[in-house]
Each structure stands twice: as C-alpha cells, then as structure tokens.
C-alpha cells in the first residue's frame, strides 16, 4: 500500500555496542521495523568467503559502535518523537546520539536507476535495464535486466569480464551452468548467445526469485533457476556441461575447485570471475592443480577473470 507521504524520516541512534539490546528495545516502541548496523563480526567474514567483496569503509568501521534506525512517514514524525527518544535513553543511562534525516521516497527506492543505462561488453553483448528504451544494432545481443536486490547488473567489472569471456566460449547448442547466478545475467547471456540448456543456481532464494523474473523478461525459457549449493545438492548431468560461469569470490572458487570438474564435459570450459588482482595467481594455481589449463584471461580496474579448459580425460585430477 502506498503511503500518502513521499517523505520519510530516518530516526537514528548511535551508541556503544554494549547498549545495543536496550536501544533496540526502546526504538521498537516507536516502530518494530528497526535497522541495525553492527560491524562487530566483520573479522569473522574476513576469515570466510566474503572478504574480497567487503567495502573499505566497512573494513575501517569502528567495531565498538552500532546504530539503530527506524523509518517513519513524515506525517507520523514530530519533534517530540526525537526528544522523547533521547530522554528515554538518558533515563536508562544510555549515552547515545540521536539524529534525524529526511529521505525522499522515490529517491530512496529508485534513485539508483538513473545511473543504470545500457552497457556494452564483449563484442556484441548489450545489457539493458528493463525500464530503458533501446534500439539494438544489427549484431547486438540484448540482455534485459531488472536486478532487484540481486547482484548482477552488468555495471560491475566482474560481471562484464565474465560476460565477455562467455561470448568467446559459448557455442550454439551447448549446455551451460551458472554457479552463484545472482540476477541470472550470465545464464541469460549464454542463452542469448546460443546455449541450448542453461542451469542457474544460487544459495540466496531472493537471487533465484529475481533470476526467474529476468528469465521471463528475456523469454529465455531454456534457463532453469534453482536454490542450491553446487557441491551439496546439484547432481552432474550425463556428459557434463560444456561451459560453466563461476562469478563469486576467490575463496568460494578455491572451495569449489576439487568438485567443479565433475560438472564439466571433457574439454569443457570454466570461466572464473570475482577475483581481485592480488589473488589471481593463487586462484589460477588451485584451478590448474585440479585438472584445468588456463586458456584466456582478462583484467579491469583491479579485477581478474580467466577461462580454463578441463582435461580431455574423465579424471580431472593429476
């Protein structure tokens, strides 16, 4: 339901982490839809699979400080809301800073769209936002995208590099698997390039919801999208896939390396992206130790992507 106001008020409380539970409880008295920003567990993520994609501003954030916010329609907010909140926290002995910010509803939800325009990558691929008018050229391969909350607009170097490499290796009638598909952009691109059967998987149900929407948007009915973790619950198809796209992060690629060969046909090609330059040699080394040979590589703005062919024998281990 659309609210009558086009303005929203963000009421934000900043405090030491030790007061988080108390502040959250007080803020929930104003609205139970609170947003918490707490970076105290960032070091655990750095030791896991997400370290390469964590923004520097988050890496440098104070781990001892948290913020709790609620968002209120402008007509439901008064100056007393802020003063009452500050007084309540003070009476509980909570040292905190309470601030107010006005947000425009349209800007909040859609302002990013004005920066997202048709993007060319490779020789012929054009990634076009679903709300943009675009007149394709004779040889353009147009991929329509509405990324929603999923990764994969084509604006990021990792996606562009991977799509460009797909253009070199996808052949008419081939089969393709997209591991960590996000918005579905790479599987849909492969379908538009002539792949006959594409399977897109991701551990995030929201990504799969978005990917299925984009499959429908593009009319690429040969792309199947499922929530799954490749190494746990996806069975290899008979003969294996001809092409795989793995646009994730270095740590996940390394984790998948021993299993990936089972999913590829002999001579099949895996395209890896989402790798920062500093880890390129490490990832290539691991992939090659698991029965692949690098055949192509691209770099852009500190990001690295490469294609590697599986050995022509069934055993992908040396």
Domain with 213, as residue range(s), is: 116-310
Phi and psi dihedrals of 294, rounded to 5? -60, 130
Q: Residue 13 falls within a domain, yes or no?
A: yes
Residues 92 and 139 in one domain: no
| Least confident range of 10-24, 32-46, 254-268 | 32-46
Residues 222 and 306 in one domain: yes
pTM over 0.75: no
Residues 288 and 160 in one domain: yes
Give the pLDDT confidence of 225-248 residue by residue, as tens digits.
999 877 667 778 899 999 999 998
Which residue has better confidence, 74 or 45? 74
Q: Read off the CATH number of the domain in which 72 is found.
A: 3.30.70.120
Q: Which two tokens stand for residue 124?
A: 């012929």
Give the pLDDT confidence of 23-68 residue by residue, as tens digits.
998 998 888 778 888 877 666 555 544 444 445 556 667 888 999 9
Q: Residue 315 falls within a domain, yes or no?
A: no
Sequence-distant (≥ 6) Cβ neighbours of residue 244 within 8 angstroms: 176, 177, 178, 179, 260, 263, 264, 268, 269, 270, 271
Count the domains in the chain: 2
User: Do 145 and 130 meet the contact criterion of CB atoms below 8 Å apart?
Assistant: yes
Mode of pairing for the β-strands spanning 241-247 and 223-227: unpaired
Phi and psi dihedrals of 66, rounded to 5? -130, 160
Question: Looking at 64, 94, 110, which one is the last position of a domain?
Answer: 110
**For 178-216, b where at least 16 C-beta lie within 10 A, e where not — what string?**
bbbbbbbbbbbbbbbbebebbbbbbebeebbebbbbbbe
């Amino acid at each position: 339901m659309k609210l009558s106001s086009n303005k929203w008020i963000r009421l934000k409380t900043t405090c030491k982490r030790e007061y988080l539970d108390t502040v959250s409880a007080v803020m929930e008295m104003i609205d139970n839809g609170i947003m918490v920003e707490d970076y105290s567990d960032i070091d655990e993520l750095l030791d896991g699979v997400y370290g390469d994609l964590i923004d520097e501003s988050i890496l440098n954030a104070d781990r001892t400080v948290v913020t709790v916010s609620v968002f209120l329609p402008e007509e439901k907010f008064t100056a007393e809301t802020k003063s009452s909140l500050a007084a309540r926290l003070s009476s509980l002995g909570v040292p905190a800073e309470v601030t107010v910010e006005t947000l425009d509803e349209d800007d909040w939800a859609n302002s990013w769209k004005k920066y997202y325009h048709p993007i060319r990558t490779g020789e012929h691929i054009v990634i076009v936002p679903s709300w943009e008018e675009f007149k394709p050229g004779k040889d353009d391969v147009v991929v329509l995208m509405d990324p929603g909350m999923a990764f994969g607009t084509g604006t990021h170097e990792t996606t562009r590099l991977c799509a460009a490499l797909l253009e070199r290796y996808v052949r008419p009638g081939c089969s393709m698997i997209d591991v960590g598909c996000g918005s579905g952009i790479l599987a849909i691109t492969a379908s538009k390039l002539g792949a006959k059967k594409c399977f897109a998987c991701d551990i995030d149900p929201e990504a799969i919801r978005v990917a299925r929407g984009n499959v429908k948007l593009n009319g690429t009915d040969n792309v199947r999208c499922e929530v799954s973790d490749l190494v746990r619950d996806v069975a290899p198809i008979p003969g294996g896939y001809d092409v795989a796209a793995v646009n994730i992060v270095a740590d996940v690629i390394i984790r998948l390396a021993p299993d990936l060969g089972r999913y590829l046909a002999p001579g099949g090609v895996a395209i890896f992206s989402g790798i920062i330059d500093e880890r390129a040699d490490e990832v290539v080394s691991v992939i090659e130790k698991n029965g692949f040979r690098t055949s192509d590589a691209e770099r852009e703005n500190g990001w690295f992507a490469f294609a590697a062919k599986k050995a022509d024998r069934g055993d992908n281990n040396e």
